[in-house]
Amino acid sequence: MHDVKPLLALPPPAAYALERLNAAGFEAYLVGGSVRDACLGREPLDFDITTQAIPDEIKAAFLGEKLLETGLKHGTLTLVKGGQQIQITTFRQDSTYSDSRHPDQVAFTRSLREDVLRRDFTINALAWHPRTGLIDHVGGVEDLNNRLIRAVGDAKTRMREDSLRVLRALRFSAKLGFAIEAGTLFAMMSEGERLLGVSAERVADELNQTLLAPYVAGALRDHPRVLFLALPEL
């Protein structure tokens, strides 16, 4: 794994967003795919920020800036600056998922650790700040080093919360060339029937991304039954 610090040359809008939140007195970190990709030596394309600031505090910190509120009910505001969109989301804990896709309610928290524990896979639950460096509460660094896709916490719970995570794990395997950890794969197969309740459009989008990924042949060879969960008519 690469040293993430020199690789994360932040684009000005992302650096600005972190600085504004810090100046307002709030913790704020890059999180998710940008941190994962930088750790792997890949150039990050999208930059998401997680912060202890609640939405009204985010609005106050960016007074005069363009903020999109399309994800407001889940604590997400999108800063539009310098031709880029930076998603800023409050640290949160999710409740039950009645529709196996979205949380019924979200509760904001002031704890980064509580926030990352709700995320899908350990490699996507790493946080980073230019001053504090990499923060790993879930063993994501070890899984990156071992080239493993592992659910955060209880794998069955993660799959029940959002059935699309079954296909997302396959997509990351096809994208990164990683194996799927045994307990995570078992949960995927156990909970895979829930995919029947997910819209065809969302399933198709995940499958299209998987089929276009560089390591798709290996992913489908190693995990053929996952594809059958999405396309039972095969």
- Domains, the chain, in order of start with CATH, read 4-143 (3.30.460.10), 149-230 (1.10.110.30)
Q: Model's pTM, two decimal places?
A: 0.89
CA distance 62 to 187: 41
Closest Cα to residue 87, out of 100, 78, 96? 78
pLDDT in tens, the chain (234 residues): 555 554 457 889 999 999 999 999 999 999 999 999 999 988 888 899 999 999 999 999 999 999 999 889 889 999 999 999 999 999 998 655 555 455 567 789 999 999 999 999 999 999 998 888 999 999 999 999 999 999 999 999 999 999 999 999 999 999 999 999 999 999 999 998 888 888 889 999 999 999 999 999 999 999 988 888 877 655
**In terms of C-beta density within 10 A (0-12 exposed, 13-18 middle, 19 or more buried), how is residue 114 classed?**
middle
β-partners of residue 44 are none
β-partners of residue 79 are 67, 86
**Phi and psi at residue 16, to the nearest 5°:** -60, -45
